[in-house]
Amino acid sequence: MTPTITAFESSPDRGRGLARDMRVRWALEEVRQPYDVRLLSFKEMKEPAHLSLHPFGQIPTYEEGDLALFESGAIIFHIAQRHAGLLPEDANARARAITWMFAALSTVEPPIVDRSMAVLFDRDKPWHKERLPILEDRVRVRLGELSNRLGGADWLDDAFSAGDLLMVTVLRRLDGSGIVEKYPNLSAYVARGEARPAYQRAFDDQLAVFTGKPPTG
């Protein structure tokens, strides 16, 4: 059964792949699962039809037969459980990859989101100039720790996994800030993720929503 996901009809990032449907698209491309996309306006996201799928009126959601999911992490975990390619077979390696999924979402993503919310929505606040460096320091602390752990490895735990997929999309949220570039191994790690053919197919598909042009590949 072909799953359907939801995404922004008009993404504020203008097709840079920063919204969280990108990670779901990427996961589906990694496992070669075709999918449909239902695009939503900001108004539609807060209407009863969508709220019945997503209690917080957000994207992405995932529908497959009578299963409806929200929360990008849960959706990716579901995809990774159903298909080979995103989580290792070995039980311990699988547990470690799942640990990295949680680390990406609950330890690394929050300070990055706090920073990007401040940049997007709080620029006019009187405390913005003082607060932004504090938020950026918190991001740097996490990135420094992550950089130390990654060292010279290609991926966080041996082979590419759903943990890397989430971590790369989380780090991409700093796109344009110049912060990731201060950690050359993290920059190279993000570039390795972005170079994966599945990532590129997912990126082209979300960009096509913005440009109106069909993906080329």
In the complex, the residues that contact ligand GTB under the rule CB under 6 A are: 11-13, 18-20, 45, 57-60, 71-73
Is 15 or 93 the residue whose CB approaches ligand GTB more closely?
15
Contacts of 41 (CB under 8 A, 6+ apart): 9, 10
CA distance 68 to 101: 21
Instruction: Work out how close the CB of 90 gets to ligand GTB at its nearest, in angstroms, rounded to a whole number.
Output: 27
Instruction: Work out how close the CB of 42 gets to ligand GTB at its nearest, in angstroms, rounded to a whole number.
Output: 7
Quick count: other Cβ atoms within 10 Å of Cβ 186? 21
Q: Which residues of 9-22 are buried (b: 16+ CB within 10 A; e: fewer)?
A: bebeeebbbbbbbb
Instruction: Work out how close the CB of 28 gets to ligand GTB at its nearest, in angstroms, rounded to a whole number.
Output: 15
Is 13 or 194 the residue whose CB approaches ligand GTB more closely?
13
Instruction: Work out how close the CB of 56 gets to ligand GTB at its nearest, in angstroms, rounded to a whole number.
Output: 7
Instruction: Work out how close the CB of 143 gets to ligand GTB at its nearest, in angstroms, rounded to a whole number.
Output: 18
Identity of the amino acid at 130 = E
Is 21 or 204 the residue whose CB approaches ligand GTB more closely?
21
Is 9 or 138 the residue whose CB approaches ligand GTB more closely?
9
Quick count: other Cβ atoms within 10 Å of Cβ 138? 15
Answer yes or no: are the C-beta atoms of 185 and 150 closer than 8 Å: yes
Burial bucket for residue 91 (CB in 10 Å: 0-12, 13-18, 19+): exposed
Is 23 or 155 the residue whose CB approaches ligand GTB more closely?
23
